[in-house]
Amino acid sequence: MQLTVVGAGYAGLRLIQQLAPQGFDITLIEPSPHHVLRTRLGAVASLRRPLKESLLLYSKLLPNGVRWIQEPAVAFDPDLAQVDTDHHSVQSDRVILAYGSTTAHLVPGSERLGLSTYTLAETEAVLAHWAKMQQDLEAQRCDPALLRWVVVGGGETGVALAAELVHLARRWRNRYGGQAGAIQVYLLHQGDQLLPGWRSVQGEWAKDWLLRNRVFVQTQTRVKRVRPGQLVLEGPTGTQDLTSQTIFWATGTTAQRLEEEAPQLREGGYFRVNQTLQLVDYPRIYALGGLIEAHSSTRTLQQADHVAQVLVAERDGRTPAPFVAQPDTPALSLGAFDGLAMLGDQDLFGTAGWTVAQAADSLYFNTVQTWNLPRLNVELRP
């Protein structure tokens, strides 16, 4: 069976590593030379980890025999199961769409003004921002608006990033003194509770941690718009302006789109899929990850495993089972040696939560590089 996989993020790479050894003829369409460990980009953006620790070369990860077209896909035809790049047109038995999601810019002006840490390019822009600021701090001529670091969005990405900035601010105060002592970290969240989707005790613990570490946390606060050097906020006490030239957007993700794509295939921005993750009305096309729901690394890997099983079943003439999502084990690192996690009904905080987050990161990092070795059945238990 011939497969075309569009995108080699968490889902696409996992699928390829499972199916290539089983005799599938696979073509990968992926423009980047690197597999990006997105869960590490927050630590990279806060200068706690070097960039190279979040990048793995596809040339070392792809199984032998996989044809790799290092170009972006620009269009696909669901009737023909065909994917086009600028220089190639690939037709196959099945197409797996796994080109993921990108930062959602929900605030007017946010796409032009501010920073994000969801993609490699965005993280590199953050590193350039810090490099210029460090030069100014060394000369003690830094614009005060640059020293107010504002994170917009109190979900997992925003909370983790705010925590990372706490540690970076501490290091810079010690290193540069003077103006660095004026660094402030803000976290703005539109909802009542941080970490939506987590238990309330987890959100309260995260908020208390941030407050103890000198973060200005404002819930029930919506960013109406952003202007150069200024956020316009709307909260319980009305409208106010917040001056800042270091703004981080952590307001969620949105599914990426190809240049040429039929709009009727989507609903609410996501592809419409059935119980086996095939596009509705197009059984030769599968979609995964951030293309069909809000991004979750754990859920994305589950979907990749399921589609691999479905394709094997199809090839062997068996009826595939429907996808049934397994419960996530949410875990979040708050910088070094602090974090929180939910293992079943158990809430873990501090070092215990951080340990679970690091274990999940290490497990994926090692698995993706040793895919051709026998796998251990590792399960985190309360």
Return the number of other C-beta atoms located less than 10 Å from residue 367's C-beta: 16
pLDDT value at residue 376: 44
Alpha carbon distance 326, 367 (integer Å): 19
Map out the domains of the chain as residue ranges.
Answer: 2-103+253-325, 120-249, 327-382
> Which residues of the chain are under the pLDDT cut of 50?
376-382
Q: Are 206 and 194 in contact (CB under 8 A)?
A: yes
Which tokens hold the place of 4? Answer: 């075309």
**What contacts 135, CB < 8 A, 6 or more positions away?**
none
Return the number of other C-beta atoms located less than 10 Å from residue 77's C-beta: 16
Kindly provide the b/e burial profile for residues 289-319, where b requires at least 16 CB atoms within 10 angstroms of the residue's own CB: bbbbbbbbbbbbbbbbbbbbbbbbebeeeee
pLDDT value at residue 372: 65
**What contacts 20, CB < 8 A, 6 or more positions away?**
26, 62, 63, 64, 65, 66
pLDDT value at residue 299: 87
CATH architecture group of domain 120-249: 3-Layer(bba) Sandwich (3.50)
Alpha carbon distance 103, 33 (integer Å): 21
Which tokens hold the place of 328? Answer: 């996530």
Which tokens hold the place of 137? Answer: 């701090």
Q: Are 66 and 28 in contact (CB under 8 A)?
A: yes
pLDDT value at residue 295: 65
Amino acid at 152: V
| CATH class for the domain made up of 2-103+253-325 | alpha beta
Alpha carbon distance 116, 122 (integer Å): 6
pLDDT value at residue 377: 47
Got the DSSP string for 168-219?
A: HHHHHHHHH-GGGGG-EEEEE-SSSSSSTTS-HHHHHHHHHHHHHTTEEEE-
pLDDT digits (tens, 9 = 90+) for 49-91: 999 999 999 999 999 999 999 999 999 999 999 999 999 999 9
Got the DSSP string for 223-254?
A: EEEEETTEEEEEETTEEEEEE-SEEEE-S-EE
Alpha carbon distance 131, 116 (integer Å): 16
Kindly provide the b/e burial profile for residues 33-46, where b requires at least 16 CB atoms within 10 angstroms of the residue's own CB: ebbbbbbbbbbbbb
Give this prediction's pTM. 0.93
Alpha carbon distance 130, 63 (integer Å): 38
pLDDT value at residue 374: 55
